[in-house]
């Protein structure tokens, strides 16, 4: 047997940690607060995303032959962690990093040559991932958006919801049913992935409607009314799309978990500094100090869980359980950190100019998205503990 993959327990990729933190200094809390005050049309962190793109950070996972950095998922995770630890948010652009994975693994050579170099340079933004629908939620194989085969292409009808960054993306990966569910053996069959040219589709019956939400995640609803997609937009084989999407989910989980770890570190830095400053003033702070120490412990091991999952993914080892558990632990841990920090700040934490409440709102999402913690418990129950499927 070949050597067992391993992961660092220290500050790996120190060069990224340093340079990304430096870049983030130009985007302080006030930058993010002002974005939140804008209407949806102006709330996208354009300058921040431009800075990350110019520095090549969003292209690190694309192979060098297509103009990217050719780095493993763990490198991307460190970049995203550092962005969040620095008080910034990669929510507006992280999909540029991993959505291309489906194209990379399952696209034709022609598609890869056409799109990947432009995605790597930032000329084309692939930020949108159209999976979830109003009536299907986590039950992806029940999605209702139809792509019907016609001569030379497909006609798409249906609706997607919680599609982040769609208004700020040139391309979208779209999951749609190409064979009706009654005509397939397995529910997971008959679903296909398309790479949609958003600018063309917008002129052709696709409508994007922003959703006003608790967090500035530029999320939208998308309506498809007889939208024409040329045959060349199909990724891989027709009907195999669900499997293609699953492949990418573990990478996505490793990456967004790293963002949660970064947010957790941000909260710990702030909570510890704030509480230590208060220690000298005679208040008894032992209760909140224990709470902070407990959150710190949870964060530290969640970080290790995420590192392990990424190391397995990068080594090509099956990591469904590890990526799911890393996601679960990082979500729980960042929330423990967020709660500890908000509590440590007291009333001060409600003030927007402390940035705690904004980050606290952002962090709640780590326990819901992109996968429900209940679905993770279902996975662990069924596939790790060997219990019957419960849903």
Binding-site member from 148, 221, 269, 357 for another protein (CB under 8 A): 269
Contact 250, 319 (CB under 8 A): yes
Q: Give residues with Cβ within 8 angstroms of 318, minimum separation 6.
A: 312
Residue among 200, 148, 203 at smallest CA distance from 176: 148
DSSP 8-state code for residue 3:
P
Among the listed ranges 92-100, 199-207, 270-278, 343-351, the one in contact with another protein (CB under 8 A) is 270-278
Binding-site size for another protein (CB under 8 A) equals 56
- Minimum Å gap between C-beta 78 and another protein is 12
Q: Quick count: other Cβ atoms within 10 Å of Cβ 388?
A: 6
- Minimum Å gap between C-beta 80 and another protein is 17
Binding-site member from 193, 198, 268, 341 for another protein (CB under 8 A): 268
Binding-site member from 26, 246, 301, 350 for another protein (CB under 8 A): 301
- Sign of the Cα torsion 217, 56, 78, 247 reads positive
Q: Give residues with Cβ within 8 angstroms of 248, minimum separation 6.
A: 98, 99, 101, 102, 105
- Minimum Å gap between C-beta 341 and another protein is 13
List the structure tokens of 78: 């460190």
Among the listed ranges 105-113, 117-125, 135-143, 275-283, the one in contact with another protein (CB under 8 A) is 275-283
* Complex with another protein: residue 300 or 339, whichever CB lies closer: 300
Among the listed ranges 57-65, 67-75, 172-180, 383-391, the one in contact with another protein (CB under 8 A) is 383-391
* Complex with another protein: residue 39 or 388, whichever CB lies closer: 388
Element (H, E) at 206: strand 206-210
Q: Give residues with Cβ within 8 angstroms of 155, minimum separation 6.
A: 147, 148, 226, 227, 228, 229
Indicate whether 259 belongs to the interface with another protein (CB under 8 A): no
- Sign of the Cα torsion 65, 248, 126, 81 reads negative
Indicate whether 343 belongs to the interface with another protein (CB under 8 A): no
Binding site for another protein (CB under 8 A): 4-12, 14, 265, 268-269, 272, 275-276, 279, 284-286, 289-290, 292-294, 296-298, 300-302, 304-305, 308, 311-312, 315, 317, 322, 325, 328-329, 374, 376-378, 380-381, 384-391
């Amino acid at each position: 047997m070949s050597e067992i993959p391993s992961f660092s327990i220290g500050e790996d990729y120190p060069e990224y940690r340093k340079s990304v933190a430096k870049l983030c200094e130009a985007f302080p809390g006030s930058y993010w607060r002002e974005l939140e005050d804008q209407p949806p049309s102006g709330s996208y962190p354009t300058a921040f995303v431009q800075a990350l793109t110019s520095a090549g950070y969003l292209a690190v996972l694309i192979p060098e032959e297509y103009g990217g950095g050719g780095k493993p998922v763990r490198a991307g995770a460190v970049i995203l962690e550092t962005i969040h630890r620095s008080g910034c948010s990669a929510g507006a652009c992280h999909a540029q990093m991993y959505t291309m994975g489906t194209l990379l693994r399952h696209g034709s050579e022609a598609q890869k040559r056409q799109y990947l170099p432009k995605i790597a340079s930032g000329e084309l933004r692939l930020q949108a991932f159209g999976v979830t629908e109003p009536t299907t939620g986590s039950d992806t194989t029940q999605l209702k958006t139809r792509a019907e085969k016609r001569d030379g292409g497909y006609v798409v009808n249906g609706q997607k919801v919680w599609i982040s960054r769609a208004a700020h993306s040139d391309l979208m990966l779209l999951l749609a049913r190409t064979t009706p569910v009654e005509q397939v053996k397995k529910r997971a069959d008959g679903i296909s992935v398309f790479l949609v040219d958003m600018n063309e589709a917008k002129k052709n019956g696709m409508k994007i409607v922003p959703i006003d939400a608790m967090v500035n995640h530029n999320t939208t609803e998308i309506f498809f009314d007889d939208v024409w997609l040329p045959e060349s937009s199909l990724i891989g084989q027709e009907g195999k799309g669900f499997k293609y999407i699953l492949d990418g989910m573990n990478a996505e989980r490793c990456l967004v978990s790293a963002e949660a770890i970064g947010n957790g570190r941000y909260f710990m830095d702030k909570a510890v500094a704030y509480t230590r400053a208060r220690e000298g003033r005679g208040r008894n702070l032992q209760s909140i100090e224990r709470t902070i120490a407990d959150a710190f412990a949870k964060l530290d091991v969640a970080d290790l869980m995420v590192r392990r999952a990424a190391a397995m993914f990068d080594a090509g080892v099956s990591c469904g359980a590890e990526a799911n558990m890393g996601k679960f632990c990082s979500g729980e841990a960042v929330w423990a950190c967020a709660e500890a920090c908000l509590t440590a700040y007291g009333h001060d934490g409600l003030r927007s100019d402390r940035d705690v409440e904004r980050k606290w709102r952002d962090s709640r999402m780590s326990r819901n998205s992109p996968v429900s913690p209940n679905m993770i418990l279902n996975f662990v129950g069924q596939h790790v503990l060997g219990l019957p499927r419960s849903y």
